[in-house]
Each structure stands twice: as C-alpha cells, then as structure tokens.
Structure 1
Amino acid sequence: MLTPNHIVITARAVLLLGALTAAILMLGPFQGAEAAFGLNDKSAHAIAFGGLTAVSFAAFPRMRRWDLARAALLLGGGAELVQMLGDRSASLGDWAADAVGVFTVYGSSLIESARKMAREHGAVPFSTIAEMDRRRPRAAKPVLTPVASHGEERLARFADRAAKRYPPRASAP
C-alpha cells in the first residue's frame, strides 16, 4: 500500500540523483551541453535549482522550506566557487539564475500556505493566526506583584508577598 513515507523516500532518491547529475554537469567538462535541449546557461541553472528545491521540499517535509531554500542557494554559490578552481569560470549571473529558480519554487510554496490559511482561517486577523501557531514559542507573561499604594505598608519579605498572592489552602475536614 502506498503511503506518504513512500513518496518521501522516492523524493530523496530523486533528489540524490538530481543533485549528482547537476554537480557532474556543472563541474564536469560539459560546458554548453544545455544547448542540446534548446536552453541557454542561465535558464538551465534556474530550471535545475528550481527542480532540486521543489524535490527537496517533498524529500524533507519536516524541515522548514526557508532552510531548504537557503541550502539550495548555498549549494549554488558553492558550485560557482568550485568552478573557479577548475578550468571553468564562476559567474555571479549563474548564481543569480540559481536564486531565480529557488525563489520561484519557494514563492509558489508560500502561495499554497496562504491558500491554506484562507481556507482554514479566512476571517481571522494575521495577528490572531500567529498567536495560534503552535510552532512559535510563547513569551511567558510576567508575574506582577501588586504595587503598594500610599496608605499600605510595602511587604518587604518574599514570604509575605507570596502569602498575600497565594492564600493558604483550606484544610480538609
């Protein structure tokens, strides 16, 4: 029986093969190979990194998409730096094309998140939705001790303040 875990495992295998293929094509002696598919260098970079980013979203469903997008950008920048070491040339334009592919897929995923929020919380303000988000840590509300008014004597000891705030329990009969 097909389960979501099967899709994750398949996506991880596809991601591994895709990343290896992209690395071989970008770092190997295959300069200009994208012309066989009717693409120029920049569009090939955008398609490759957009595809790898999309597959990584499926391969790692528990990771934040922004972290995966940043990893793809770092991978693209690293590939350009490695190209400087060999007999190929690094290009800031290639890295920018990588970023276009990554952010196209990342932006599409944000649209899907907005659609989900509209379905589930259509009339709720964003501030309330953010408060309901269980992934965000809640700031502890400060414990305020009552401020003594002019006529009251300020309680100096901790035990006295605690006794005032938390009265003793009634004893069981």
Structure 2
Amino acid sequence: MTPSASSRPELSADLTEDKFLRWYWRRDELAGFARGRGIRATGSKDLLSARIAAALGGRKFEEPEPRRENGRQLAGDLSATTVIPAGQRSSQVVRAWMTEQIGSGFHFDVEMREFFSRSDGTKTMQDAVDHWHATRGLGARRIDDQFEYNRFTRAWHEANPNGSRDALLTAWRDYRNSPVDERGRA
C-alpha cells in the first residue's frame, strides 16, 4: 500500500531524497537504516541525515573536514589563572572546577560549551566563571536545531502551561508524523 502524501512512509531505499527530507526521523531509525545500506552511521543526526539524503538522491556525499583540536586538554588542579588551551572540551575536570566556583547550578549550556570550544589559548578559568555569570538571566536560550523534541516541548509548554505529559506526547507524535512542509512550527 502506498502512503498518502501526508502519511509518514517507511524509511526505505525506495524513498526519494525529497520525500525523505519531508519527514522527521529519530536518530536510531537513521543509524539502523544507514548500517543496513552500508552508509556510515556515525556523527550527529544532521550529518547522518545528509549522508542518507545524498545516497537516496544518488549523489556522492562529501564528509566534512574533521575538527582540528589541540591535543592539550586541562587536567589536574585548576585555578582562576589557569589558561584554557585552544579546543578545550567540556570535560569532567572543567565541570568539577566550575561547580566548585559556581555551585551545583553549573552546567554546560550552549554559552559555556561555545566559550570553551572557541577558546584560543588566551582566556583563563576566571574568564569562564565571569562568562557564566554574564550569560545568566538572558531568558530562554536558543535550542540547537538537532534538538527538535526539546524545541517542540518548550514551545508546547509555553502554549499549554497546564497541559499534561500525555497531551504533550500526543501533540509530539502528531507533529513528528506530519511532513515538515505541512506542519506549523511549534
């Protein structure tokens, strides 16, 4: 049976690239499909989707250049004057020190992940603490595109402050099972 234009199809090699891109697919669905077709199944959901779309469209996929990171990462005892090396990851060592300075409310949100990943070797751990405090109270932060469920959930709760979890999950299933070009952005 052929699905209608607004019915979510099965993820199969018979899909066209355009039809594939019209629908929401979970990462585990994409990875399983990719493995079954000999497509590399690693990386972000966006990267995996791009590989599959290229394969379905009969195009060669150009893998992005790997990020070049400085091999040196912070370890051991840190202090406010410790210089953050270029390419520092959001590591457990950094998390522990930041939590000591800020308290249990510290977490690696978008602002902090970007602060560390964009470090050029001139910032200190005190700069990181200052950045944390400077970026609090900015209101709701943007949720990256790959976290579509999180974006949907935030918007749904804003529109339905007294809504139940079951109602949220029903709305998410309806949203997810609608073509991208036919659903309203939640």
Same fold (TM over 0.5): no
Larger Rg: 1
Structure 2 length-normalised TM: 0.22
Bigger fraction of residues in helix: 1
